[in-house]
Amino acid sequence: HTTQRSGGYILGFRVDPAEKLREIFKEIDSLFQVFSVNPIFGIEFSVEERAQSLSSVTVGRESDDVEIVRGGEGEGVDSLAAYYADGVKTRDREPLFNSDLGLAVEGLPDGLTLAQLWNIV
């Protein structure tokens, strides 16, 4: 049987002879008593150690040791500028095969080389 709260139904069955019925009743009653003390709800969980506080796991901020080096007048090329829209460009440049890259790329503007595009500093 179940409680009124969970639907309140009774499941019945017949056992013959009466002696066997008493044995099964004792077994079922014993299981019911154990289950009532420590029910199994179909979910298992274990309590682990409490998580550390946020302040104990927070790492302090470090400053970067990056230095930006500016080239002198006429030195270097703004590599990213080549990727932005070309103000005087009226149409796309024809793709050209580049053996260094192994693929076809749009032709570069006059005065700009592939090496300059890859040069970061």
pTM: 0.29
Amino acid at 4: Q
Confidence band, pLDDT 50/70/90 cuts, at residue 116: confident
What is the average pLDDT score of the chain? 77
- Residue 6 has a pLDDT of 72
52-96 residue pLDDT tens? 788 888 888 888 777 777 765 555 556 556 555 556 666 777 888
User: How far apart (Å, rounded) are the C-alpha atoms in residues 104 and 97?
Assistant: 4
Which DSSP string do the residues of 31-91 spell out, in sequence order?
Answer: HHHHHHHS---S------PPPPPHHHHPPPP-----------TT-S--GGGGGSPPTT--S
User: How far apart (Å, rounded) are the C-alpha atoms in residues 118 and 35?
Assistant: 72
User: How far apart (Å, rounded) are the C-alpha atoms in residues 104 and 107?
Assistant: 9
Contact call for residues 109 and 82 (beta carbons, < 8 A)? yes
Domains of the chain, by residue range, sit at 4-37, 79-118
Where do we find the tokens 């030195």?
Answer: 75
Q: Where is mean pLDDT largest: 4-8, 13-17, 44-48?
A: 13-17
pLDDT > 90: percent of the chain: 10
User: How far apart (Å, rounded) are the C-alpha atoms in residues 87 and 109?
Assistant: 11
The more confidently predicted of residues 117 and 83 is 117
The answer, yes or no, to whether residue 24 has pLDDT greater than 60, is: yes
